[in-house]
């Protein structure tokens, strides 16, 4: 039996971020992951300013190392296209940012970077280790795992669930895990090469279409002339319409006037792969006695745009502060962390679900895109984004 202060389940961006902050605080911990690294994670590979902010908080040089080592592509803007093909494009090349506000990085590389930088002085990292059981007593938590050496366990003062979308920690603790379809998105991803027509600033391209609403199609440029392409939709609509996301994905590529041109010489590098995105809602309990959830395990995903890496890492940073407090005070009730998170993302939750609703009505989305294209409103909204992002940089 291995004894430690904290045991983290899952070494994606959320789990490794908890680990990096615990190491900074000199708190010994064990980090378990079932995968062999480097490992893929189905994702759009869009890396946002909140990720960069979290990396800088871990250590000032961390962001530079990340940009250098992860083969990232700097992206200077994004474009939404309404159901009639009308564009709303935001270009931030001249916004005075110290670095690109968005990057794309294959998760294979990004997650491997975060794992490669774990601090062995405080973090005992155990890859290829599957968590198979968790039990709680008033004094500790025991996490049972299996790996090449057989079955064993870790005894810790608390367990942090960073296992991603499919619940592990709550399931083994015998707790309910909120997983309603109205707060879940379904999405598929395909890596392509030779997609044409990306903007010279490597903008992220979003396409709305009546058939895939409430949802959208994306094409994000990657380096080496590759692209991350996918489609996502609200799970309750997928179920209600018995919707075939894969068929809709290929239909978009074949029938959408601009996409058919962009993909005329493109080659798929893999078959479509699907995964779920749990969106943030205060209805989800994410903490309790001797446990807390971070990242996708806690549903830290923006309900409108599907962004989850940044919020997952932010939840991990905030969780590490509550872990430190719990260890200091010997009060292992982690509810204050849950309250902190839902307070922190209060505005994003309201705005995110309002925007998500607009995706149900093509006319509402078309009107919004037309209004946002009016020069004065475009300048105002661009400035709002620039100021918000500068705050993160
Ligand atoms: C199609 C798609 C597109 C997306 N696009 C974007 C995007 O462009 N930008 C963005 O910010 N977000 C995006 N997201 C969301 C983003 O991928 C997630 O929010 C993010 O991966 C969450 O990270 P995490 O660390 O919480 O979980 P994960 O990255 O899923 O990591 C969980 C880890 O836990 C491990 N694990 C699971 N079970 C066990 C077990 N029993 N024992 C041990 N280990 C275990 C897994 O091996 C894994 O390594 C997208 C999601 C999808 C599905």
Residue 34, ligand 1, Cβ within 6 A: yes
Q: Provide the percentage of residues in the chain whose pLDDT is more than 90.
A: 91
User: 129: which residues sit within 8 A by CB, 6+ positions away?
Assistant: 32, 33, 34, 145, 146, 147
- Atom in ligand 1 nearest the alpha carbon of residue 33: 44
184-193/287-288 β-pairing: unpaired
- Atom in ligand 1 nearest the alpha carbon of residue 131: 42
6, pLDDT greater than 80: yes
Instruction: Count Cα atoms within 13 angstroms, Cβ side, for 341.
Output: 32
Residue 11, ligand 1, Cβ within 6 A: yes
Q: How far are the Cα atoms of 59, 88, 145, 290, 330 from residue 6, in angstroms, in the given order? A: 21, 46, 15, 10, 13
Q: Give the whole-angstrom CA distance, residue 294 versus residue 322.
A: 12
Tokens of 287: 């903490």
| Residue 385 pLDDT | 95
Name the pLDDT band for 262 (thresholds 50, 70, 90). very high
- Residue 289's CB is within 10 A of a number of other CB atoms, namely 14
11, pLDDT greater than 90: yes
Separation of CA 325 from chain center: 26
Q: How far are the Cα atoms of 90, 199, 291 from residue 195, in angstroms, in the given order? A: 21, 12, 45
Residue pLDDT, tens place only, 316-366: 999 999 999 999 999 999 999 999 999 999 999 999 998 888 888 888 888
Residue 187, ligand 1, Cβ within 6 A: yes
Residue pLDDT, tens place only, 102-118: 999 999 999 999 999 99
| Residue 89 pLDDT | 97
SS3 295: helix
User: 331: which residues sit within 8 A by CB, 6+ positions away?
Assistant: none
Residue 319, ligand 1, Cβ within 6 A: no
Is the domain spanning 76-101+181-277+364-392 CATH 3.40.50.300? The answer is no
For a substitution probing ligand 1, which of 7, 19, 33 has the most ligand atoms within 8 Å of its CB?
A: 33
| Residue 133 pLDDT | 97
Tokens of 290: 């001797």
Separation of CA 3 from chain center: 31
| Residue 71 pLDDT | 83
**Closest to 190 in 3D by CA, of 164, 222, 227:** 227
CATH fit for domain 2-70+106-178+281-351, picks 1.20.1260.10, 1.10.760.10, 3.40.1550.10, 3.50.50.60: 3.50.50.60
For residue 340, the 8-state DSSP code is: H
Q: Do domains 2-70+106-178+281-351 and 76-101+181-277+364-392 have the same CATH topology?
A: no
Q: Which residue CA neighbors atom 18 of ligand 1 most closely?
A: 308
SS3 146: strand
| Residue 355 pLDDT | 87
Q: Which residues on adjacent β-strands are paired with residue 153?
A: 144
Instruction: Count Cα atoms within 13 angstroms, Cβ side, for 212.
Output: 29
Give the residue extent of every domain in the chain. 2-70+106-178+281-351, 76-101+181-277+364-392
Residue 14, ligand 1, Cβ within 6 A: yes
Tokens of 321: 């502060």
Q: Give the whole-angstrom CA distance, residue 347 versus residue 343.
A: 8
29-32/123-126 β-pairing: parallel
Q: Give the whole-angstrom CA distance, residue 295 versus residue 301.
A: 8
Do residues 355 and 364 touch, judged by C-beta distance below 8 A? no
Do residues 171 and 185 touch, judged by C-beta distance below 8 A? no
Residue pLDDT, tens place only, 34-86: 999 999 999 999 999 999 999 999 998 999 999 889 889 999 999 999 988 89
Distance 316 CA to ligand 1 centre (A): 13
271 backbone φψ class: left, alpha, beta (φ>0; ψ -120 to 50): beta
Q: What is the mean pLDDT of the chain?
A: 95
Q: Provide the percentage of residues in the chain whose pLDDT is more than 70.
A: 100
Provide φ and ψ at 208, rounded to 5°. -105, 145
Provide φ and ψ at 15, rounded to 5°. -65, -45
SS3 158: strand
| Residue 358 pLDDT | 82
| Residue 343 pLDDT | 97
Distance 28 CA to ligand 1 centre (A): 24
77-81/204-207 β-pairing: parallel
Tokens of 383: 């400035």
Separation of CA 76 from chain center: 20
Tokens of 232: 């996502």
Interval 265-291 mean pLDDT: 97
């Amino acid at each position: 039996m291995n004894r430690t202060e904290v045991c983290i389940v899952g070494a994606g961006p959320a789990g490794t971020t908890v680990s990096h902050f615990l190491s900074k605080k000199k708190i010994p911990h064990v980090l378990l992951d079932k995968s062999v690294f480097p490992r893929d994670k189905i994702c759009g590979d869009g890396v946002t300013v909140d990720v960069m902010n979290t990396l800088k908080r871990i250590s000032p040089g961390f962001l530079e190392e990340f940009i250098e080592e992860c083969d990232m592509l700097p992206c200077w803007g994004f474009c939404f296209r309404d159901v009639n093909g009308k564009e709303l494009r935001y270009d931030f090349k001249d916004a005075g940012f110290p670095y690109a506000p968005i990057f794309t990085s294959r998760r294979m590389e990004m997650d491997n970077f975060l794992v490669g930088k774990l601090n062995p002085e405080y973090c005992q990292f155990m890859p290829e280790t599957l968590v198979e059981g968790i039990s709680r007593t008033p004094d500790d938590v025991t996490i049972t795992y299996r790996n090449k050496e057989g079955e064993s366990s870790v005894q810790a003062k608390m367990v942090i669930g960073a296992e991603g979308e499919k619940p592990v920690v709550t399931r083994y603790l015998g707790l309910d895990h909120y997983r309603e379809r109205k707060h879940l998105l379904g999405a598929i991803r395909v890596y392509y090469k030779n997609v044409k027509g990306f903007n010279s600033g490597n903008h992220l391209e979003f396409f709305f279409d009546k058939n895939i609403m409430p949802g959208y199609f994306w094409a994000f440029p990657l380096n080496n002339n590759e692209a991350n392409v996918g489609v996502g939709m609200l799970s309750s609509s997928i179920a209600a319409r018995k919707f075939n996301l894969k068929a809709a994905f290929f239909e978009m590529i074949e029938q959408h006037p601009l996409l058919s041109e962009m993909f005329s010489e493109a080659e798929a590098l893999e078959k479509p792969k699907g995964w779920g995105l749990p969106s943030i809602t205060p209805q989800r309990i994410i903490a309790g006695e001797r446990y807390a959830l971070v990242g996708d395990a806690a549903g830290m995903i923006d309900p409108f745009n599907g962004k989850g890496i940044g919020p997952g890492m932010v939840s991990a940073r905030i969780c590490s502060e509550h872990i430190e407090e719990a260890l200091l005070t010997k009060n292992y009730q982690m509810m204050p962390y849950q309250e902190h998170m839902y307070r922190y993302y209060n505005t994003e939750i309201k705005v995110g679900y309002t925007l998500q609703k607009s995706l149900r009505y093509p006319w509402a989305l078309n009107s919004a895109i037309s209004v946002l294209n009016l020069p004065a409103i475009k300048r105002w909204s661009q400035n709002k984004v620039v100021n918000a992002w500068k705050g993160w940089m």
